[in-house]
Amino acid sequence: MIEIKSLTKLYKNKRGIRGISLDIRDGEILGLLGPNGSGKTTLMKALLSLVPDYSGDIIVDGNDLRDDLENVLARTGALIEAPSVYKRLTAYQNLCLAARRQEDTEDIDRVLDIVGLSQYKNERAGHFSLGMKQRLGIAAAVLGTPDIIVLDEPTNGLDIESVVELREYIHKLNRENGTTFIISGHIASEIEKLCTRAAVIYEGEIIANESIEKILSLYPSMEEFFLNKVRERRGSI
């Protein structure tokens, strides 16, 4: 579905991503695993054309993202960094603004129930805790069941029960609708439980890319896999 070829985006401080090439298959849950500042968010922003001045190519269903941006964004839900919340509006009103199509508004009550905000649907988002705002951002991302969902560290601010519920919902969407997920995180155990494949990003580069099944057949845990690949990377420099 998505081909990333030699993608580079560097900021003035020289951080960002360098020469990333990666294929994201239709219907998979790809985890981008790496420490803070490794380039995960920059890569996700490029996929959403939020950093348009990148070099390299992003091909979605055979079309260059630059030429097919409107169509791709119409099929994509996203939560990048902190959720975008209008504090003066209620949870329900926020999701009305987030709806991609008119018919998506019919889905609002369902996604509010999924993220546990049904009883707060008519409360202003400005009164929400960090975790509640995160839930609202996730609800906006999955509203209307888009083909591609990009989630930047979606478990931030969530309690244990909410993390488990979110994981179960992502697996359900993937299983029943074939939704493709791209999810970033810096906690190896969460990527292990949530994703079907993991790409390790370190200092702006992909240093490993393998299915979770294969990783766990070779290593006792995702954490050991990550640490091993980082040690190999450091040793090669």
Q: What is the pLDDT of residues 178-208, one digit of tens each?
A: 999 999 999 999 999 999 999 999 999 999 9
- At residue 69's C-alpha, the angle toward residues 78 and 167, to 5°, is 20
CB 134 within 8 A of CB 160: no
Given this model, what pLDDT does residue 237 score?
A: 60
User: What are the φ/ψ torsions at residue 187 (nearest 5 degrees)?
Assistant: -105, 110
Q: Of all helices (H) and strands (E), which one includes residue 2?
A: strand 2-10
Report the 10 Å Cβ neighbour count for 192: 20
Lowest-pLDDT choice from 50-64, 156-170, 179-193, 201-215: 156-170
pLDDT at 225 > cutoff 90 = yes
Read off the pLDDT of residues 77-97 as tens digits, 9 standing for 90 and up: 999 987 889 999 999 999 998
